[in-house]
């Protein structure tokens, strides 16, 4: 099921990286991030979100959680409610504790995912009122089913998408609104996404499959010219930023913020 309504975001929440981010979880084999470069890149990211018209709330870093700058995984924000997730990596699970305080400033309806359900919101792709939920090493069936039940309470719905190799669903997919789906790797031929119009990312630019639509703009990671051109040819204005230090931790553009 696809919906072509284009949404408009007004807010973003980001979390400043902490010095211990250099010890974040990774499978990337790109070396350790440079903290001062990461701070600079994070400021560029905030500027890009502002350029797209968002009010950006910047949260203080959480020193005990190296991956907490990837705030997208700890909460899901929709037009009607927010969900505090139950992150699937044990060393990241405690990030959820800090989300209620933050979200209550913006949402009167706050839901939660409970154990044994686990869910990282990097596994959740929103397309209008319909949500695709990756079943991954971080998100289990129980967590996804809890989310689907929450969605139904608010007149929304969703479906599960088992992953093979990707870390998160949105590692390999980005919804660019207007029925356009940026798609890579294992998702290219997945029939679940066949109703979307595909913009297919080449294997050697796979990281750019996590580009970020915000209010008609698409923020694209620096260094992936073919994908940038494909997105521009589909009619979008792009903003390019360097997020190399976050890529070293398997993190992409969407992971670095909550948008609503």
Please say which residue, 221 or 251, places its beta carbon nearer to ligand CIR.
251
> 10 by DSSP, 3-state: which?
coil
Cβ contact 117:143 at 8 Å: yes
Please say which residue, 16 or 232, places its beta carbon nearer to ligand CIR.
16
Cis peptide bond upstream of 109, omega within 30: no
The distance of closest approach from Cβ of residue 87 to ligand CIR in the complex, given in angstroms and rounded to an integer, is 8
Q: Which residues would be at the binding site for ligand CIR (CB under 6 A)? A: 24-26, 67, 70, 72-73, 89, 92, 122, 167-168, 170-171, 249-252, 255
For this structure, is 52 an active site residue? no
What span, in angstroms and rounded, lies between the C-alpha atoms of 80 and 109?
7
The tokens of 241 are what?
């930023």
> 143 by DSSP, 3-state: which?
helix
The distance of closest approach from Cβ of residue 138 to ligand CIR in the complex, given in angstroms and rounded to an integer, is 7
177 phi-psi bin (left φ>0, alpha ψ -120 to 50, beta other): left
Please say which residue, 139 or 180, places its beta carbon nearer to ligand CIR.
139
Please say which residue, 208 or 249, places its beta carbon nearer to ligand CIR.
249
What span, in angstroms and rounded, lies between the C-alpha atoms of 229 and 125?
23
Please say which residue, 85 or 146, places its beta carbon nearer to ligand CIR.
85
How many helices (H) and strands (E) are present in the chain, helices listed first?
A: 5, 15
Which residue(s) pair with 127 in the sheet?
130
Please say which residue, 7 or 92, places its beta carbon nearer to ligand CIR.
92
Catalytic residue among 18, 52, 77, 255: 255
The distance of closest approach from Cβ of residue 252 to ligand CIR in the complex, given in angstroms and rounded to an integer, is 6
Tally Cβ neighbours within 10 Å of residue 33: 24
Catalytic residue among 42, 52, 77, 168: 168
Residue 236 burial (10 A CB sphere; 0-12, 13-18, 19+): buried
DSSP states of 160-221: EEE-SS-SSGGGSEEE-STTEEEE-GGGTT-GGGTTSEEEEPPGGGGGGGS-EEETTEEEEE
The distance of closest approach from Cβ of residue 66 to ligand CIR in the complex, given in angstroms and rounded to an integer, is 8
For this structure, is 198 an active site residue? no
The distance of closest approach from Cβ of residue 259 to ligand CIR in the complex, given in angstroms and rounded to an integer, is 13
Q: Which residue is nearest to ligand CIR (CB)?
A: 122
What span, in angstroms and rounded, lies between the C-alpha atoms of 100 and 89?
19
The distance of closest approach from Cβ of residue 235 to ligand CIR in the complex, given in angstroms and rounded to an integer, is 26
Which residue(s) pair with 26 in the sheet?
none
Catalytic residues, by residue number, are 168, 255
């Amino acid at each position: 099921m696809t919906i072509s309504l284009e949404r408009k975001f007004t807010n973003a929440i980001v979390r400043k990286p902490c010095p211990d981010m250099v010890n974040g979880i990774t499978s990337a084999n790109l070396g350790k991030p440079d903290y001062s470069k990461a701070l600079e890149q994070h400021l560029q990211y905030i500027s890009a979100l502002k350029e797209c018209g968002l009010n950006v709330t910047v949260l203080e870093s959480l020193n005990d959680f190296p991956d907490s700058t990837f705030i997208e995984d700890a909460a899901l924000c929709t037009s009607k409610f927010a969900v505090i997730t139950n992150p699937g990596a044990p060393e990241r699970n405690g990030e959820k504790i800090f989300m209620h305080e933050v979200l209550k400033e913006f949402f009167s309806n706050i839901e939660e995912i409970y154990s044994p359900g686990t869910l990282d919101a990097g596994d959740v792709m929103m397309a209008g009122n319909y949500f695709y939920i990756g079943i991954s090493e971080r998100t289990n069936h129980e967590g996804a089913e809890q989310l689907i039940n929450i969605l139904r309470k608010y007149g929304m719905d969703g479906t599960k998408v088992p992953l093979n190799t990707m870390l998160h669903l949105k590692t390999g997919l980005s919804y660019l609104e207007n029925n356009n789906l940026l798609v890579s790797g294992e998702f290219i031929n997945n029939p679940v996404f066949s109703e979307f119009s595909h913009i297919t990312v080449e294997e050697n630019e796979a990281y750019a499959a996590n580009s970020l639509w915000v209010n008609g703009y698409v923020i694209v990671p620096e260094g992936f010219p073919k994908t940038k051109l494909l997105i521009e040819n589909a009619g979008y204005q792009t903003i390019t930023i360097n997020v190399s230090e976050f890529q070293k931790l398997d993190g992409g553009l969407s992971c670095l913020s909550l948008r609503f």
